[in-house]
Structure 1
Amino acid sequence: MDRYSYQMYELLHLAFAPARALSEATTQMLKSPFHPLANTTLARNLAASAELFERMTRRYGKPVFGFEPVQIDGEPVPIVEEHVWSKPFCRLLHFKREFAGAAPRQSKLLIVAPMSGHYATLLRGTVETFLPSHDVYITDWSDARAVPLSEGRFDLEDYIDYIDEILTHLSRERDGVPLHTLGVCQASVPLIGAIAVKEAANDPHAPESMVLMGGPIDPRVNPTAVNNLAEKRGINWFRQHCIHTVPFPNAGMGRKVYPGFLQLSGFMAMNIERHVSAHLEMFNHLVEGDGDSAEKHRDFYDEYLAVMDLTAEFYLQTVEEIFIKHALPLGLLRHRGELIDLHAIRHTALLTVEGEKDDISGVGQTYAAQTLCAKIPPERRMHYLQAGVGHYGVFNGSRFRTEIAPRIRAFFLEMEHAPMMAM
């Protein structure tokens, strides 16, 4: 039955289409100021029920960043999104700031988004926080079900290759401007891997610094439920139960993937009580006419419920190498036949950031990079543990904006002005 789950998912989505359409029409009708029952308790309850049903059965498409002009030195600066590099499984998105006068000379920042089921827009708050101070780029990963089989495969080694090429692309265009990098969650592993590959080859395009945030550099440290599940099940279980074939009519039909809807069900199951409570709260907000609170709920779940498929080879290789074999901290992770040696990193500065309440990457898993990258001089290595935040709070939210991001900016500036020691 497992191998037909994707087909059943598609069929159920189509089967609910008439009911979704009716629910949406009912919501609009009952909210119309011209409806005679619009302001009654009965109408508000019916409208709230119809909206929740429609939202819980719809498929959420890829969100957009859609930034409004940002304030830079007291002036509103429009943001224009442009794709400056692309391959089948990723596009490099640049947030071009259209200054009225001469653009300030600011360093570049590459944000490497995780390929873990959600789109890069999950880091909207991360990007927005750095727009006033940096020229920001982000990896915009493709949904595997939308990539035709003819484009080939994509695994963890390809991910590292993509980052390697992006670093070279940005380095060649920076005209002496420093290039910093920031890897979030799962992306921390291929980012540090790509930088190690560059430094081992004495590649001049290695970045000035890397910030690793809530990433599973060494999942053996303070293991979480996610880590324990991988070791308990073993790779064959994941191969048998998590891999499915993209069905018609998707462009990537025939491709083996880890479907986004399975990933989402896992996310939801980890905190099911919280999600049920949040939807009940939204229902009450709608009935009470609290539009602002309901809109915050919509915005969050429009992002959270938008998921993408991962290629089977990438997903299985990541689970096996990173979470079961612990190949990175043991020095056994290979790239194109060569061992990835984190001791090769000597010039790129390192900042590790963790959240005290992170239940995805436990405290200490990211910090492990400090020990593994032993050849980076002590004055070019820093660690920060943010109190009171979980996994999401490491890279988004008020604590990130007011406490974490300022420390990252200060780290960038310090590394730019610190004299580079001979290695």
Structure 2
Amino acid sequence: MIYFAHEATRLATRPLAAWLEVGTQMARSELNPLRSSLTMRTMATLFELPHRQLKDYGKPKYEVRDHLGDVDVLIEPEVVATQPFADLLRFSAPDGREKQKVLIAAALSGHHATLLQGTITAFAQYFDTHITDWKNARDVPLSEGEFGFDEYVDHLIAFIEAMGPGTHLVATCQAAPPAMVAAAILAKRNPELVPPTITLMGGPVDTRINPGKINKLSNKLPLKLFELNNIHKVPPGYPGSGRRVYPGFYQLTGFIGLNPKPHFRQYAQFAKNSIRGEEEATDKFRSFYDEYFAVLDMTEEFYIESLRKVFMEHHIPRGLMEYRGEKVDFASVEGMRVLTVEGANDHLCPPGQTEAAHHIFSGIPAKHKHNHIQEGVGHYGVFSGSKFAAEIFPVIRTHIEA
């Protein structure tokens, strides 16, 4: 009923949201001769703040750019392959160079893959870059079937098959465990498709190590409670009506609830900057939160199975991980180099949890495994931002090119 109530409230407040948007636009319009006055800036702020709470945040567009000489080129995404719950997008700069292929496995944890635009931009300058563009579960008809942990692995394997041999695999956040499984399954079934390198960035490989708040919470509460509280049916009006999902708006509430103070500070600072007329700062705020508030629904199967296998029962480090009813043999992976990247200040996936992959891939020599801990960054800083571009990406680039 919560999803139905949320949708009813959303529809009922569309007129108010539209009115607030018009008010904001009029107050900030360049045709308004008073737009720069304190009174008008204050009025615009009073319109915009509630509008941002009520507006719909759709999936952002990809704006990946590359610098070719003195020209700033927008790289349009190309759909290379399609699966029921994701598209394989390719970002290739038209510079005529032959580049190594990289597949970025985006986390399926509430946000669209567009959250990784900075990551894609860095990779696209040097590699033939592809990414898993996950679909919103509410938009996938029930006729497409279920989507759980094994189906995520299926999608990765299908995309690697579409890209062909020599595809390097980069997994962000919660994509790390299924990416590891995909590599192990390929080692057994199709060795020529095993990625030459795998890069795991801030991924929960063994959440028993240095557990954070989320890890401690998942260990204390029963799985049934997560299911009863977080799983709801998609209401009528969407292609996936009737599908049981973990709604995006519910996930967003959880994200903010984990650490609400910075968000309140950001909004308070936005109000001050808006009234002062500091447009660069307010544009930066809008850009971040337009992306942050754009969330998608996850299927019940993937959410519950990930919780159980990764965060509660720790299937990978305990040697219990199965794929399609078959035990996964990570030790069988040999011809692959492993790089793990961790943020020193990561509160979602603390240091040590991703590095655990080195012990899991026991068949790979130690000289082909490396862990990079980046000082001064939290979870999102592991794969985006200035330190990612300046200090983390060069390490990944060297790892792949070597």
TM-score bucket of the superposed structures, by smaller chain = over 0.9
In structure 2, the CA distance between the partners of 1:49 and 1:399, relative to structure 1 (3 Å rule), is same
2-structure distance, mates of 1:397, 1:234: 36
Is the Cα contact below 8 Å between 2:20 and 2:50 reproduced in 1? yes
Per-residue CA deviation, residues 43-65 of structure 1 (Å, 9 max, x unaligned), is 22121011111111112000111
- Name which of 84, 90, 104 aligns with 1:111: 104
For the pair 1:64 / 2:61, whether they are aligned, the reply is: yes
Query: In structure 2, what is the Cα distance between the partners aligned to 1:124 and 1:36?
Result: 37
Matched, 1:16 2:4: no
- Superposed counterparts of 1:161-172, under 5 Å: 161-171=154-164
Deviation at 1:286, TM superposition (A): 1.0
Q: Which residue of 2 aligns with 1:187?
A: 175
Match of 2:335 in 1: 347
Structure 2 residue 402 is matched with structure 1 residue 402: no
Q: CA RMSD in A?
A: 1.4
The residue that corresponds to 1:262 in the other structure is: 250
TM-score, scaled relative to structure 2: 0.97
Match of 2:121 in 1: 128
Instruction: Encode CA deviations 1:47-90: one digit per residue, 9 max, x unaligned.
Output: 1011111111112000111234x124666555221101001101
* Aligned amino acid, residue 296 of structure 1: K
Taking structure 1 as reference, are residues 339 and 37 closer, same or farther at Cα in structure 2, changes over 3 Å only? same
Percent identity over the alignment?
39
CA apart distance, 1:34: 4.7
Aligned length: 402
Q: Secondary structure at the match of 2:339?
A: strand
CA distance in 2, matches of 1:228, 1:171: 40
Please give the per-residue CA displacement for 1:329-359, whole angstroms capped at 9, x wherever unaligned.
1111110111112111111210001000000
Q: Per-residue displacement from partner, 1:273-317 (whole Å, max 9, x unpaired)?
A: 110110111111111111110000000001000000000011000
Q: Give, in whole Å, the separation in 1 of the partners of 2:35 and 2:118.
A: 36
Offset from partner CA, 1:12-33 (integer Å, 9 cap, x none): 1112111111111111222235
Moved more, 162-171 or 354-363: 162-171
Partner of 1:251: 239
Gaps of 5+ in 1: 173-177, 415-423
Among 139, 151, 154, the alignment partner of 1:146 is 139
Q: Which residue of 2 aligns with 1:93?
A: 89
Question: Residue 26 in 1 paired to residue 23 in 2?
Answer: yes
Question: Any idea what the Cα deviations from partners look like across 1:251-285, whole Å, max 9, x if unmatched?
Answer: 10000000000100000111211101101111111
Q: 1:75 to 1:32 in 2, by over 3 A?
A: closer
Give how far 1:154 is off: 0.4
Which is worse superposed, 40-49 or 353-362? Answer: 40-49
Paired with 2:215 and 2:30, the residues of 1 have a C-alpha distance of: 52
CA contact (8 A) 2:36 2:277 kept: no
2:48 is aligned with 1:51: yes
- Matched with 1:371 is 359
Q: Which residue of 2 aligns with 1:175?
A: none
| Runs of 5+ unmatched residues, structure 2 | none
1:203-352 equivalences under 5 Å are 203-352=191-340
- Distance, in Å, in 1 between the alignment partners of 2:306 and 2:75 is 35
Per-residue deviation at 1:201?
2.8
| Alpha carbons 2:337, 2:369 under 8 Å: kept | yes
Distance between the aligned counterparts of 2:292 and 2:163, measured in 1?
30
